[in-house]
Chains A and B, each alone.
Chain A
């Protein structure tokens, strides 16, 4: 092993991480004291005791739990659907030979770069036509598949499933779908979990499309937060209490699976 780096490396990294954490800490610090620390010459560095009362006020102002449940439903269904369809297609691209597979895969890669967000106007017209506007399916259905997901699962399954295993299963008379279920799915599990996690977080953060497709009576958490800011502009203790409340679940998720998230990002970089 090479030798340990010096203080300079640690110092710079710690400074970078402090800068990364500070805005989030600030969004907790303000509601834990109150708006008056915004005018302090030197604001306090330790939290005060008002966070819970500000948080309570958030719950009284916006349909926080309703919005949270909506976000979980939307992000959960989108993540599940992306994982299922990507694993199926990824398996076919990685392990099965069929006419046109190369052309189709190039198509997948190209669609990764297509800014589908620019199609929101016809999408909105369609949603109004179907009467879906304002309902959760309006934000779930347009996100059911992901080109990146297919790409990601293909790259992973190409190495993770030995072709001999599939051949052996075939010659034993195993049908394709059983091979998929008993050979590919178990092997795909780590990559599928990662894809699910990324998709969940991406969908959780989505703002533009939910803003168009949903309304304030049935919001996702992002819309509810925006509503909080729009209605109570000056009261930062309230608004920041809202952002902190909404960040806590994701932060806990991050503490639990952050290690895998880091590994996933780095893995994706090398494969991609």
Chain B
């Protein structure tokens, strides 16, 4: 599959010109691969890795925005952070929104994939249909759902009122605001993930199902004993990517606020997420050091969650 040390088909080089060509040729073969991968690593190190690591350095200082006299405080920012109720509140909000969105999302995505995995007419049309929310930008989604979940004039409350449930204060109530934000996330990503699951379903060898059919297994039995286990790697993939993205959620809660432009995540921070708190600390309160400490704590949480997810998903779908 790869090539090195090709059989020399050319006759032995005697002329010096040819010898130089050969040397250049070898150099080309040796050096080229590094030249091709170098831009990626160089740029990534510079704009991806270095800022992340430098964040750890900044987090050890009392570093104000626009102030060059940063004061070293050691782990001071971290101890302050661990005692900061607003941080814990934001962390709980983030995890709550994440769970409320990702659990139904995975289940519905699998269900939609099952529906799409039938011998449909207009197959491509249906697949494109479930992907429509993907074209809406996050900011548009935030604004649209902010309107739909409006307290007084929102369509959701009009419907709830009409069927007799009564209006829900989607802004002020903590759980309700999490549900509304989770709905935005799910609306945008469920169809996308359904297509990923569908692809994995179609990659299951048909012989497995045929054999089970001959053994007299019904559709539900075939689904739980063949399809679900075969989907395991894909579900792990979907869960881990949605963990990494979901725990950094920012745009949706920022735009959901009834006070546009505010970064507090509601009047009592009831839907402020960790990234939103990070943003508020850095750019409203101008505490770059403290915000950097938040960034590293979040990084830690993401790593732990990704590892934890990997093991949970592996066990569950075994």
Contacts and interface: CB of A to CB of B under 8 A. Distances in A.
Interface string A179-216: 01000000000000000000001001101100010000
A141 B47 contact: yes
A239 B143 contact: yes
Which residue, of A3, A27, A267, has the highest number of chain B Cβ atoms within 10 A?
Answer: A27
B51 interface: yes
> Which 8 residue pairs across A and B have the least CB separation, nearest first?
A119-B51, A266-B199, A176-B32, A97-B2, A17-B129, A243-B140, A92-B36, A98-B33
A27 B139 CA distance: 13
A23 B141 contact: yes
A207 B43 contact: no
Interface string B226-244: 0000000010010010001
Contacts of B291: 121
A246 B137 contact: yes
- Chain B CB within 10 Å — which of A1, A16, A173, A175 has the most? A16
B221 to A, nearest CB: 18
A116 B275 CA distance: 13
B196 A208 contact: no
Nearest to A17: B129
A117 B115 CA distance: 36
Contacts of A122: 50-51, 54-55, 58, 292
B75 interface: no
A101 B37 CA distance: 9
Contacts of B223: none
Interface of B: 1-4, 6-7, 9-10, 21, 25, 28-30, 32-34, 36-37, 39-41, 43-44, 47-52, 54-55, 58, 112, 115-116, 118-121, 124, 126-141, 143-148, 150, 153, 155, 158, 162, 187, 191-192, 195-200, 202-203, 234, 237, 240, 244, 248, 250-251, 255, 258, 260-261, 275, 278-279, 282-283, 288, 291-292, 295-296, 298-299, 302, 306
Contact of A89 (B2, B36, B199, B299): B36
A225 B140 contact: yes
Contact of B40 (A89, A101, A177, A261): A89
Contact of B139 (A1, A16, A113, A226): A226
Interface in A214-272: 221-222, 225-226, 229-231, 233, 236, 239-240, 243, 246-247, 250-251, 253-254, 258-259, 261-262, 265-270, 272
A104 B45 CA distance: 13
Interface residues of A, number: 106
B145 A23 contact: yes
A180 B143 contact: no
Given A96-B33, A113-B244, A177-B32, A265 B295 contact: no
A45 interface: no
Chain A facing B: main interface SS: helix
Contacts of A101: 33
Contact of A119 (B32, B55, B135, B250): B55
Nearest to B126: A13
Given A93-B37, A114-B48, A207-B138, A265 B199 contact: yes
B153 A38 contact: yes
Nearest to B195: A265
Contacts of B162: 41
B36 A21 contact: no
Contacts of A247: 135-137, 140
A101 to B, nearest CB: 7
Interface string A13-32: 10011011101101100100
Contacts of A163: 1-3
B135 A144 contact: no
B192 A92 contact: no
Q: Which of B187, B258, B260 has the most CB of A within 10 A?
A: B260
Given A21-B132, A115-B248, A258-B131, A266 B52 contact: no
